[in-house]
Each structure stands twice: as C-alpha cells, then as structure tokens.
Amino acid sequence: MNSTNNALGRFSSLCINRYRIVYLGMALLVILGLYNYRTLARESKPEVVFPKIKINVNYPGATPEDVELLVTNKLEAVLSGIEDVEFLTSSSMAGRSEVQMDFFPEADIDEKIGEVTQAVLSVNDLPEEVESPSIKVSTTANRAFMVLSLSGDLAPSELKSTADLLMDELLYLDGVSDVKISGDKSPEIRITVDQARLAEFNLTAENLVQAVNMRHKDTPAGDAILDGVHYYIRVLASYGDVNELRKTLVPLPGGNVIFLKDIARVEETYKPTANYSRRSVNLGEDNAVMKAAITISLYRDGGTDIIGPSRAVKAVIGDTESGRFPDGLDIQVLQDDAVSVQEDLDDVLGNAISGLLIVVIVLYLFLGFREAFIAALIIPFSLFFSFIALNIAGMTFNTMTLLAMIIALGLLVDNAIVVVENVNNFRLKGLSRIQAARQGTAEVAPAILAATLTTMAAFIPLAFMEGRIGLIISVI
C-alpha cells in the first residue's frame, strides 16, 4: 500500500500542495510567538501558593481573654469541620479576633469561601458589641518580592506620612497585591496621671476618662429638611491639638472644675513598637551613622509576573522631581527578586541557545547546510508555539518551563532529522522534490508519531503528582 494513503500522509500532502497557506501560518506563528514572549509573566521558579481565607472580627473594648473565650473559640469550633484545610491559626488581641485558614493548593477556593461564610454566619451567640465579621481571600505570595527602605533628615511623623502616601500609590500598580510597612512610628497623645494630685482632689482615673470622652466625641443633633433635601446633623466635638486637650475641664466632687494639665502630664509621643528599622549611612567612613528608617515590603500574587511590577515600582520611587516627596528623603531598594529572576532566566536561556547552536553545527557536519537549516527550523517555531501555549494556560516563563522546552526541542529535532534524511533518500532515488517530500514524510510519520506519544506517556504521570513538589514538577 502506498504510504501516502495513511492519514498523516494525506495531511502532509495537503500541506505541500497548499504551501502558501503554510507560509502564512508560519508568519502568523512568528508574530504571535514574539508577542506572547514579550507579554509572558516571568518568575525564577513556579511558586506554590496556598490560598488563604482570613476572618477578622472586631470586639471593641474587650480584653484578649474575652476575645478568645467569646469569639475566637466559637469561630474555631465551626471552622474546624471544613475540609482541605492544612493550617488553622488564630490570634486574639485587645478588641480584635483574627482567624486564618490555609488551604491545600488543589482546594476550590470559590467553594471554600462559601463554606466559610456559611459557617461564620451560623455562630449566633456572639456578644452584641461584636461587629460584623470580615472574610477575605488571599493568594498573596508569602515572601516579599521587593523591599524598600525610607530614611532621611525628616521628623518621624513626616517620614511616616511619606511612607503612607507611597504605600497608597504602590498598591495601585499592576501586579502588586499587598504592601506592608514596618519600623514606622505611629503618633499618639499620652496622658500620665499624677497619683498624688489625683488623690488630693479626690478623683479617679475613670473621672479623667469620662471628662476626655465627653469633650472628644461626635453627637447627633437631629435632622433638618432644606429645599426638599433631608440632612442629618451631627455636632463634631474633637480636639484640635494637644493644648486643647491639656485645657480639658475635669469636674471636681465639690462642684468646681480643674484643668487636666493640673493633675496629669499630657504629651505628644509615639506608640511603642516591637519592630525597629535602622539603616547605615556613609558606611565605611568616619561619619558613618545609623538612621531610623521605615521598611516597605511589596507582595504579589503567586504565579504572576515579577519583572513588570519591579519596573513600575522603580519608576515611582525614581520620580523624585514631581514634588510628591519631601526634600531630604532617601529611598533605597534593599531587595529586588526581579534582578535575580532575570539573571536566572538569562543564564538558562543563554545555555539553551548555546546548546541549540551546537545541534545546528552537528546537523551541518553530518547532513549538509540545506538539510541542517530545514531541520533546525523546528527549533524557533516550537518555541513560538510554546510561548503561545504558556500564555493561554496562564503559566509563567520560568526555569522549569524553559527546561521542559529544551527537553521537547531535543525530541523534535530528532524527529526532524529522521524526516529530512528520509526525504533525501527518495531524492537520491530520482523522485522530484515534491514527490520525495510526500513519500518521505508519509513513510516515517506514523512511526514518529508513535515514538513521540510513547515519550509523552512517560511524562504524563508528572501532571498528576500532588503536594508542593507535584505543583512544581507538573509544569514539565
């Protein structure tokens, strides 16, 4: 039976007869391949991100013990029955309960958010003062991809306000999912009571708290209708500065009043913090000093691009001439994973190109220039097709996917050599170029397909591996 009668033979004959359409498809593949290569998300290695669901419940005025007993324990009881949870952690603090659920990667997070919401709403015996729970899904990577340090000859309050402004701007960048600040000092007003003076006027600390609260609160004052529009009126009574607070009138038991400053020291200070950030200035010189700094850590969603967000962040912090930042502010990049990712990809890509050049040289030595050129064409077109497939599948361009491409290219080059050599044999028998291409391709196509499918079958089990290693290996 003529080998061109098989399905693969008929398909190859169709491609040979309609070569203009094939050329058009090749040109389209090159254009789409280059476009997808430029837009592919890049990272060093596939990042395994375990989806998280965070439940926050505010319980104003409650102690950590009350929060744990009346809120956290009840939430844990209903949430512990949900499946596919790897870790369930909780934290009880003054006025706030936080519960975090870490799910296995294969869990359907859309389904789980519904189960968690239903479970939380089923808890109907929480204290009346408890606010409505906040339930959020997070797929943010555990490690920051970029860390910035802010310092300079600025007051702590000005440094903090600048960090807050920068944080708000960075959160709007594409690819940045979360921004955290550490080392900042939050301003507060501290009232230190003189116990001797308090006893002298027969007062208690509770009397001072009541006096301050009465002066510093918003009070509803009814409503009014003007020009058909209904307005609700509130009297805003708050302190303008610390001097007003010092002059707060505290009622005495005998009916007189006294200023708060007469029985307590009122001062502007900063909240105590457990996180401190320092940065060396003029390191290695005689005038080297350690300055207070604020650290900004930037996070991205796992499995997303890292190069683009890094460039966007550098563009923001490099725009110092816009006047948005105060004079004397110094912003340094302490960590940028995009640099190492780009270096890793460049190294692997360079090694891959070197290997492919060696393949072309070997083909030239054994097959000749024309045959080597034809067989080597499979290399760029296979890469272009791979870039398109990666983008469609939502995968990133990383060292593992590049390794998979190199393995596949080795197999495809072998197949191309077999086809080219068989076509060349038919040419030596006196057939025309078209007839040799038809007969040579159709004769070996079934065997090549069977060999390729056999090789693919050896890699298929990798796609079904579970756990962290499975998620990394499965991209091959």
Q: Encode pLDDT of 422-440 as tens digits.
A: 888 888 888 888 888 888 8
**Could you tell me where in the chain the CATH 3.30.70.1320 domains are found?**
146-187+273-337
| pLDDT level of residue 31 (50, 70, 90 thresholds) | very high
Give SS3 for 394.
Answer: coil
Alpha helices in 122-176 (DSSP H): 156-171
| pLDDT level of residue 127 (50, 70, 90 thresholds) | confident
Amino acid in position 56? N
**Range in 161-170, 272-281, 385-394, 460-469 with the lowest mean pLDDT:** 272-281
Amino acid in position 306? I
* pLDDT given for residue 357 in this prediction: 81
CATH class of 188-270: alpha beta
CATH of 3-39+368-473, one of 1.20.1640.10, 1.10.3720.10, 1.25.40.10, 3.30.1490.100: 1.20.1640.10
**Range in 115-129, 185-199, 305-319 with the lowest mean pLDDT:** 185-199
Beta bridge partners of 96: 58, 93
Averaged pLDDT, 87-91? 87
pLDDT of residue 221 exceeding 50: no
CA gap 476, 68 in Å, rounded: 46
Average pLDDT of the chain to the nearest whole number: 78
**Which residue shows structure tokens 């990798």?**
462
* pLDDT given for residue 24 in this prediction: 92
Token pair listed for 64: 């950590």
Averaged pLDDT, 90-98? 85
Cβ atoms of residues 344 and 401 within 8 Å: no
* Pairing assessment for the beta strands 178-182 and 294-299 based on DSSP bridges: antiparallel
Most confident of 22-31, 409-418, 463-472: 22-31
* pLDDT given for residue 185 in this prediction: 67
pLDDT in tens, 282-337: 544 555 556 677 888 888 876 677 888 888 888 888 775 566 777 777 888 888 88
Looking at per-residue pLDDT, the higher value among 292 and 248 belongs to 248
Cβ burial 217-248 (10 Å sphere, 16+ → b, else e): eeeeeeeeeeeeeeeeeeeeeeeeeeeebbeb
pLDDT of residue 48 exceeding 90: no
Q: What angle do CA 331, 336, 338 make, to 5 degrees?
A: 140
Fold exhibited by the domain 52-138: Alpha-Beta Plaits (3.30.70)
Q: What angle do CA 346, 351, 355 make, to 5 degrees?
A: 145
pLDDT in tens, 458-473: 777 777 776 666 666 7
Please state, as a whole number, how many other Cβ atoms lie within 10 Å of the Cβ of residue 349.
15
**Could you tell me where in the chain the CATH 3.30.2090.10 domains are found?**
188-270
**Hey, what's the torsion of the CAs at 179, 182, 187, 188, to 10 degrees?**
100
* pLDDT given for residue 27 in this prediction: 92
Burial category of 81 from C-beta neighbours within 10 Å (exposed 0-12, middle 13-18, buried 19 and up): exposed
Residue 71 is classified by DSSP as I
**Could you tell me where in the chain the CATH 3.30.70.1430 domains are found?**
52-138
Beta bridge partners of 134: 56
CA gap 454, 450 in Å, rounded: 6
**Range in 8-17, 52-61, 177-186, 304-313 with the lowest mean pLDDT:** 177-186
Looking at per-residue pLDDT, the higher value among 349 and 21 belongs to 21
* pLDDT given for residue 227 in this prediction: 57
**Range in 37-46, 124-133, 134-143 with the lowest mean pLDDT:** 134-143
| pLDDT level of residue 32 (50, 70, 90 thresholds) | very high
Instruction: Provide CATH code, domain 146-187+273-337.
Output: 3.30.70.1320
Residue 133 is classified by DSSP as P
Of 464, 475, 381, 437, nearest in space to 16 by CA:
437
Please state, as a whole number, how many other Cβ atoms lie within 10 Å of the Cβ of residue 417.
21
Cβ atoms of residues 246 and 258 within 8 Å: no
Of 149, 461, 179, nearest in space to 335 by CA:
149
Averaged pLDDT, 10-28? 86
Q: What angle do CA 48, 108, 88 make, to 5 degrees?
A: 70
**Which residue shows structure tokens 């659920």?**
101
* pLDDT given for residue 28 in this prediction: 94
* pLDDT given for residue 1 in this prediction: 44
Cβ atoms of residues 70 and 98 within 8 Å: no
Averaged pLDDT, 135-148? 77
Q: E strand or H helix at 254, and its extent?
A: none
**Could you tell me where in the chain the CATH 1.20.1640.10 domains are found?**
3-39+368-473
Looking at per-residue pLDDT, the higher value among 213 and 232 belongs to 213
CA gap 419, 425 in Å, rounded: 10
Sign, CA dihedral 86-91-92-97, equals negative
pLDDT of residue 205 exceeding 90: no
